[in-house]
Amino acid sequence: MKNIASVIVDVTTRQLDRPFDYLIPPKWEGTIQPGMRVIVPFGPRKIQGFVINLKNEHEVKLDKLKAIEDVLDVTPVLNKELLQLGYWLTKKTLCFTISAFQVMLPAAIKATYNKYLQCTEEDKVNLPDEWQALFLNRTKVDWKEVEHLPLTTVQKQIERGVLEVVYEVKSKGGKKTERVIGPIVSLEQLKQVYEETKAQKQRDVLATFIEDASPIRKKMLLSSLGITDAPVKSLVKKGVLKEDEVEIYRDPYAERDFVPTKPFPLKEEQQVALDSIKQSVHHNRHDVFLLYGVTGSGKTEVYMQAIDEVLQQGKEAIVLVPEIALTPQMVERFKGRFGSKVAVLHSALSVGEKYDEWRKIQRKEVSVVVGARSAIFAPFENIGMIIIDEEHESSYKQEDNPRYHARDVAIERGIYHQCPVVLGSATPTLESFARAKKGVYHLLTMTKRTSEQGLPTVEIVDMREQLRGGNRSMFSKELHEKIEDRLQKGQQTVLFLNRRGHSTFVMCRDCGYVIECPHCDISLTYHRMNQRVKCHYCSYEEALPKTCPSCESDYIRFFGTGTQKVEEELVKLFPAARIIRMDVDTTSRKGAHEKLLKTFGDGRADILLGTQMIAKGLDFPNVTLVGVLTADTMLHLPDFRAGEKTYQLLTQVSGRAGRHHLPGEVIIQTYTPEHYSISLAKMQKYEQFFVEEMQTRRSRQYPPYYYLTLITVSHPELMKVVNVVEKIVAYLRNKCANDTIILGPVVSPIPRIKDRYRYQCMIKYKREPELINWLQFVQEQYAQEMTKDNLQISIDFNPTMMM
Ligand code: ADP
Ligand code: ZN
Ligand code: ZN
C-alpha cells in the first residue's frame, strides 16, 4: 500500500529545498495523488506543501514520520507534466522547487480563500439523495460542512462532473468598486479655503485640485502626496471635497458580442508559412519556427489558421503575446475567430477573474489560451501548438525567481507534447535569428504587407539642427507641418513618446548636476502635481530644490518631457485637434484602455499620443502619420541591447502607419541620427541591422556569440558584499574554461537599492556545461547566511535586464 507521501513544503531556504516524507492517514489512503496540496506539520508550525510522489512503507524509515494534517485539493492542481516542468525549472534557474510549483498556479490558489463545493441547478438531479439534501435551496456549500465526509465520496462526484470545488478569494479578488475624491466647490472657493488652511497636508490636497479639478482615485491621490487619508477626511468634513464609490466593471470582455470572422484567403507568403507549420502539426513533430514577417504581413492570420488545424485534431493551443500588446483589439481578433473556446489571461484581470479563466482551462471548457508570459503554464494536457508573438519582447523573461524565459518553457513543453512552437516577430532577437540562420529553427519569411500599400516612408529629423535653427519646441518643423496636413485631410496621427507621465529627472542646466536618490544612486523622478522628486525603486522623496545643491544656480529644471506636457503643447499648437492621451495615468482604470482606443478607432479623435503601450498591435486604417518624439531615450541605457531595443521599438512604432488603403508616413526625431539602429530602422532593413549588430556583438563578446550569466550579491554592509563576491569570483576563475571571461566583481549599475549594497559579476562563456553545478554549490555554501544574515546571491542565466 502506498501510504507515504513525499511533500515539497512551502519554506524557501536552501537547506530545506527537498522532499519530506509524511504518513497518509487511513481516511485518505488511495485518494491523495501527486500534484495535490496538503497541510503538514513542520517543526512547530503547520504549513502547505505539494505532494510529488507516493511511496510504499518499506521504502522509508517509519518511526519518525508525522502524518498529513489536511488535504487542500480534491483533484491535483498540477498534472504530471507540470510537476516535471517544475523540476526542470528548478534545475535550469536554480530556484526553489516550491517557487517553481507556485509560479505555475494562479494567485487565487496561493491567497487566502474560501473553499466551496459547488453544484449547478441542472446537475442537482444527478446527485445521490444524501447529497441532494445538502444542496437543497442552494448551489454552493461551504467546505467546512463536508470536511468530515470521506474524501473518496466527494472525489467520486467530482469525477462524474456533478460537483466542483471552487475557491473564492476573500479580499482582493472580489472588489468591484473604487474610491474617488473630487472637489464640490468652485475653483474660487478652493483657493479661498487654501488661503485659510494652515495644515500643510490639507494644503497639498487643495493645491492638487486647484491645479486640476477632475476627480482622482483616492489611492493615487494619497500615494502621490505621501499622506494618510486624515487630511482628505477633514476636507470632506468641511464640505470642500467629496468621496464617491465608483463602480469598476469586472470582465471587460464579458458583455460584448464579438463579430465572428472567417479565415482570409491567404497571400502567397502566408500560405507557404502556414503549409510548413501544418506539416509539423500533422506529423506531431516538435519543430521551432521563426516566423519573421514585416509589420502588417499578416502573422496573426497565419497563427489563427494554424490554430484551426490544431483544433481540428482535437488539440489545444497556447498563444503568448506581450502584456502591452494584449490589447482589446488583439483579444477581439481571437475571440472573433474562436469565440467561447478562448480564455484570456493578463495582469489587468483581478485575482478572482484570473482564477476563473484558469478553471476554464483546467475543466477543458476552452481550447485556446491567449495570454501574457505566465499563460505558458496553462494546464492543458493535449497541446498541439505554442505560439509566441513578438518573440523579441523582454517581458517574456521573468525578472524574479524563478527567472525563466517563456520561450525556453515553450520549447520544453513542445518537446513533451511533440508539437510545434512558432516564434513570430518583425524584429526577431539576434539570438533567434542567428539560430534560424544556422537551421536550428525553421525560418519562415514574409516580406510583404497584406494591404496594397508598402511599408511607410520614414524620415529622420535631426533635433540639434532644429535647435540651431531657433526651434526650441519639442515638435520639429517637419512634424508640425505634417500634423497640420493630416488635420486638414481628416486623417489620424499617432505620436509616440518613450516615457511616462509628467515625470523625468531633474538636472541643473548650468553645471549638469542630476538629483539622485540617497539610497539607490539612481536619478529621482520629478512629480509636477506636488512639486516633489521621488525614487522609483524605493519610493524615497523630497521637495524639489529651488537652487542647485551643487552650484547654487537657480536654473535647475526637470529634463525631457512627459506625455502630459506634450499634450499641453499640442493643445496650444493645434487648438482644434481632438487629442487622446494614453499612458499609465489615463489607463489605470479598468476598461479605460479599451474605451480610449475605441474612441480613436471610431474616428472621434485626430491624434493619439502615448507611451510604449501604443507601440504594438494597433491596427487603425485611418492612421497615416506616426511621429516619434525622441528616438534616443533608449539608446543611452546602460545595456548592450540598447541598439537592438531602439531598432525594435522604431520598427514597431512605424508599423502603425498606413496599414490599409492609405499610404503611411513616419517622422523620427532624434539627437543622434547617425547611429545605425536609427538609420537602418528608417530603411526597415532588419537583415542589414542584424549583420551590423552581430559584428558589434562578436567584437564585444556578447550574445549570441557568448552566453551570459549575471551574479548579483547584495547585503546591508559593503564589506560583506565585497568579501562574498570576491570569493565567488575566485572560485569560478579556478573552475572555468580558458576562453571563459569573468567580468568583475564590480559595483552594480545601481549600486544600492533599499540600503543594500550591490556588486555583480558577469560570466561570458561559449561552453560551460558544469557552470550550473558550480553555482548551485556556491548557493549551498552560503545557504546559512542567506537564510540568517540577510545575504542575497541572485543568479540570472541569460539576463535581459542589465541593471
Ligand atoms: P502582423 O501581425 O504581421 O503585423 P496582422 O496579422 O495584424 O499583421 O495583419 C495586418 C492586416 O492585414 C490585418 O488587418 C489583417 O486582418 C489583414 N490580413 C491578414 N491576412 C490577410 C489576407 N490574407 N488578406 C487580406 N488581409 C489580410
Ligand atoms: Zn548646478
Ligand atoms: Zn531609492
Domain CATH code at residue 399: 3.40.50.300
**Domain tally for the chain?**
5
Measured in whole angstroms, the distance separating CA 40 from the mean position of its chain's CA atoms is: 34
745-760 mean pLDDT: 85
- pLDDT (tens digit per residue) in 323-348: 766 677 788 899 999 988 999 987 77
- pLDDT given for residue 582 in this prediction: 86
Atom 27, ligand 1: residue with shortest CA distance: 450
Residue 601 one-letter amino acid: G
Strand 316-320 to strand 368-371: parallel, antiparallel, or no bridges (unpaired)? parallel
Q: Which helix (H) or strand (E) holds 123?
A: helix 121-124
Contact call for residues 434 and 441 (beta carbons, < 8 A)? no
For the beta sheet containing 383-389, the strands, ordered from the edge strand earlier in sequence to the opposite edge, are 342-345, 368-371, 316-320, 383-389, 421-425, 288-293, 442-446
Residues 683 and 785 placed together within one structural domain of the fold: no
460-486 mean pLDDT: 88
Is the model's pLDDT at 573 over the cut of 90?
yes
Q: Is residue 155 part of a domain?
A: yes
24-47 mean pLDDT: 89
- pLDDT given for residue 172 in this prediction: 41
Contact call for residues 433 and 417 (beta carbons, < 8 A)? no
Question: What CATH number should be reported for the domain holding residue 724?
Answer: 3.30.70.600
Q: Is residue 612 part of a domain?
A: yes
Residues 198 and 324 placed together within one structural domain of the fold: no
From the CA of 295, give the closest atom in ligand 1.
Answer: 4
Q: Please state, in angstroms and rounded to a whole number, the distance separating the CA atoms of residues 30 and 369.
A: 33
Residues 312 and 394 placed together within one structural domain of the fold: yes
Q: Any idea how long the chain is?
A: 803
Ramachandran category for residue 561: left, alpha or beta (phi over 0 → left; psi -120 to 50 → alpha):
beta
At residue 355 the predicted structure's pLDDT band, cuts being 50, 70 and 90, is confident
User: How far, CA to CA in Å, does 652 sit from each of 578, 614, 784, 801?
Assistant: 24, 10, 47, 20
Interhelix angle 268-282/299-312, rounded to 10 degrees, is: 30
Interhelix angle 187-196/200-211, rounded to 10 degrees, is: 160
Which of 644, 666, 696 corresponds to the end of one domain? Answer: 696
- pLDDT given for residue 713 in this prediction: 96
Atom 15, ligand 1: residue with shortest CA distance: 298
Is the model's pLDDT at 494 over the cut of 80?
yes
Q: Is residue 36 part of a domain?
A: yes
716-741 mean pLDDT: 94
At residue 736 the predicted structure's pLDDT band, cuts being 50, 70 and 90, is very high
Residue 793 one-letter amino acid: I
Rg (CA), the chain: 29
Residues 568 and 486 placed together within one structural domain of the fold: yes
**Host domain of residue 489:** 457-500+562-696
Contact call for residues 745 and 729 (beta carbons, < 8 A)? yes
Atom 10, ligand 1: residue with shortest CA distance: 296
Residues 74 and 152 placed together within one structural domain of the fold: no
Spacing, Cα 197 to ligand 1 middle (Å): 60
Residue 548, annotated ligand binder?
yes
Contact call for residues 714 and 756 (beta carbons, < 8 A)? yes
User: Which ligand is nearest the CA of 267, by number?
Assistant: 1
- pLDDT given for residue 511 in this prediction: 66
User: Which ligand is nearest the CA of 303, by number?
Assistant: 1
337-366 mean pLDDT: 86
Measured in whole angstroms, the distance separating CA 206 from the mean position of its chain's CA atoms is: 35
Residues 284 and 199 placed together within one structural domain of the fold: no
Pocket flag, ligand 1, residue 333 (CB < 6 Å): no
* Residue of 151, 219, 154, 213 whose CA lies nearest to 185: 213
Q: Render 499-520 in DSSP notation, one character per residue.
A: S-TT--BEEETTT--B-B-TTT
Is the model's pLDDT at 701 over the cut of 90?
no
Q: Please state, in angstroms and rounded to a whole number, the distance separating the CA atoms of residues 70 and 484.
A: 69
Atom 23, ligand 1: residue with shortest CA distance: 266
- pLDDT (tens digit per residue) in 133-190: 788 778 888 887 877 777 777 888 887 778 887 766 554 434 456 788 888 888 888 9
Measured in whole angstroms, the distance separating CA 353 from the mean position of its chain's CA atoms is: 17
Q: State percent of the chain over pLDDT 70.
A: 91
Is the model's pLDDT at 501 over the cut of 60?
no
At residue 712 the predicted structure's pLDDT band, cuts being 50, 70 and 90, is very high
Which of 66, 86, 105 corresponds to the end of one domain? Answer: 105
User: Which ligand is nearest the CA of 536, by number?
Assistant: 3
Compute the half-sphere exposure of residue 235: CA atoms within 13 Å on the CB side of its CA.
Answer: 32
Residue 517, annotated ligand binder?
yes
Spacing, Cα 642 to ligand 2 middle (Å): 29
Q: Is residue 549 part of a domain?
A: no
Beta bridge partner(s), residue 743: 762
Q: Can you give the pTM of this predicted structure?
A: 0.78
Residue 761, annotated ligand binder?
no
Q: Bigger pLDDT: 637 or 764?
A: 764
Q: Is residue 385 part of a domain?
A: yes
User: Which ligand is nearest the CA of 754, by number?
Assistant: 3
User: How far, CA to CA in Å, does 46 sit from each of 66, 67, 71?
Assistant: 11, 11, 12
Spacing, Cα 512 to ligand 2 middle (Å): 6
Q: Bigger pLDDT: 158 or 601?
A: 601
Residue 551, annotated ligand binder?
yes
367-385 mean pLDDT: 96
Spacing, Cα 613 to ligand 3 middle (Å): 26
Contact call for residues 401 and 94 (beta carbons, < 8 A)? no
- Ranking 80-94, 521-535, 595-609 by mean pLDDT, the lowest is 521-535
Q: Is residue 687 part of a domain?
A: yes
Residues 666 and 590 placed together within one structural domain of the fold: yes
Q: Bigger pLDDT: 264 or 539?
A: 264
Pocket flag, ligand 1, residue 658 (CB < 6 Å): no
- pLDDT given for residue 175 in this prediction: 40
Q: Render 351-405 in DSSP notation, one character per residue.
A: HHHHHHHHHHHHTTS-SEEEESGGGGG---SSEEEEEEETTT-GGGB-SSSS--B
Mean per-residue pLDDT over the chain, rounded: 86
User: How far, CA to CA in Å, does 640 sit from each of 396, 701, 703, 705, 759?
Assistant: 18, 10, 9, 13, 18
Strand 442-446 to strand 288-293: parallel, antiparallel, or no bridges (unpaired)? parallel
Compute the half-sphere exposure of residue 25: CA atoms within 13 Å on the CB side of its CA.
Answer: 12
SS3 63: coil
Q: Which helix (H) or strand (E) holds 37?
A: strand 37-42
Pocket flag, ligand 1, residue 269 (CB < 6 Å): no
Is the model's pLDDT at 255 over the cut of 50?
no
Pocket flag, ligand 1, residue 297 (CB < 6 Å): yes
Strand stretches in 213-305, DSSP E: 216-217, 241-247, 288-293
Q: Please state, in angstroms and rounded to a whole number, the distance separating the CA atoms of residues 133 and 127.
A: 9
792-796 mean pLDDT: 94
Residue 520, annotated ligand binder?
yes
Q: Is residue 537 part of a domain?
A: no
Using omega within 30 degrees of 0 as the cis cutoff, is the peptide bond preceding 745 cis? yes
Which 8-state DSSP code applies to residue 251?
Answer: -
At residue 113 the predicted structure's pLDDT band, cuts being 50, 70 and 90, is low
| Residues whose CB is less than 8 angstroms from the CB of residue 705 and which lie 6 or more positions away in sequence, other chains included | 697, 698, 766
- pLDDT given for residue 637 in this prediction: 60
- pLDDT given for residue 463 in this prediction: 82
At residue 488 the predicted structure's pLDDT band, cuts being 50, 70 and 90, is very high
From the CA of 299, give the closest atom in ligand 1.
Answer: 3
- pLDDT (tens digit per residue) in 288-308: 999 999 988 999 999 999 999
Is the model's pLDDT at 504 over the cut of 90?
no
Pocket flag, ligand 1, residue 298 (CB < 6 Å): yes
Beta bridge partner(s), residue 179: 245
- pLDDT given for residue 502 in this prediction: 38
Residue 508, annotated ligand binder?
yes
Contact call for residues 626 and 496 (beta carbons, < 8 A)? yes
Residues 623 and 712 placed together within one structural domain of the fold: no
Q: Please state, in angstroms and rounded to a whole number, the distance separating the CA atoms of residues 97 and 101.
A: 6
Residue 538, annotated ligand binder?
yes
What's the grid cell of residue 23? Answer: 504518513
Q: Is residue 509 part of a domain?
A: no
Atom 5, ligand 1: residue with shortest CA distance: 298
Residues 8 and 59 placed together within one structural domain of the fold: yes
Measured in whole angstroms, the distance separating CA 673 from the mean position of its chain's CA atoms is: 31
- pLDDT given for residue 50 in this prediction: 95
Spacing, Cα 752 to ligand 3 middle (Å): 8
Residues 338 and 431 placed together within one structural domain of the fold: yes
- pLDDT given for residue 389 in this prediction: 95
Q: State percent of the chain over pLDDT 90.
A: 45
At residue 218 the predicted structure's pLDDT band, cuts being 50, 70 and 90, is confident
Residues 235 and 273 placed together within one structural domain of the fold: no
* Residue of 644, 749, 632 whose CA lies nearest to 690: 644
Residues 236 and 281 placed together within one structural domain of the fold: no
From the CA of 294, give the closest atom in ligand 1.
Answer: 3
Spacing, Cα 544 to ligand 2 middle (Å): 14
From the CA of 446, give the closest atom in ligand 1.
Answer: 3
Contact call for residues 642 and 678 (beta carbons, < 8 A)? no
- pLDDT given for residue 174 in this prediction: 41
User: How far, CA to CA in Å, does 149 sit from each of 28, 32, 35, 153, 253?
Assistant: 11, 15, 22, 7, 39
Contact call for residues 547 and 554 (beta carbons, < 8 A)? yes
Q: Bigger pLDDT: 46 or 291?
A: 291
Phi, psi of 99 (to 5 degrees): -65, -35
Q: Please state, in angstroms and rounded to a whole number, the distance separating the CA atoms of residues 412 and 421.
A: 10
Contact call for residues 150 and 74 (beta carbons, < 8 A)? no
- Ranking 118-132, 151-165, 203-217, 501-515 by mean pLDDT, the lowest is 501-515
* Residue of 34, 35, 32, 36 whose CA lies nearest to 24: 32
Is the model's pLDDT at 519 over the cut of 90?
no
Q: Which helix (H) or strand (E) holds 41?
A: strand 37-42
- pLDDT given for residue 368 in this prediction: 97
What are the residue ranges of helices labelled H in 430-580? 430-437, 463-468, 477-489, 563-573
Strand 607-610 to strand 492-496: parallel, antiparallel, or no bridges (unpaired)? parallel
Spacing, Cα 297 to ligand 1 middle (Å): 6
Spacing, Cα 470 to ligand 2 middle (Å): 25
Which of 79, 105, 131 corresponds to the end of one domain? Answer: 105
- pLDDT given for residue 561 in this prediction: 65
Beta bridge partner(s), residue 608: 494, 580
- pLDDT given for residue 337 in this prediction: 94
* Residue of 162, 165, 166, 160 whose CA lies nearest to 125: 162
Atom 19, ligand 1: residue with shortest CA distance: 298
Q: Please state, in angstroms and rounded to a whole number, the distance separating the CA atoms of residues 342 and 263.
A: 17
Spacing, Cα 553 to ligand 2 middle (Å): 5
Q: Bigger pLDDT: 783 or 660?
A: 783
Q: Which helix (H) or strand (E) holds 699?
A: helix 686-699
Phi, psi of 316 (to 5 degrees): -115, 160
CA torsion sign for 431, 653, 321, 299 is: negative
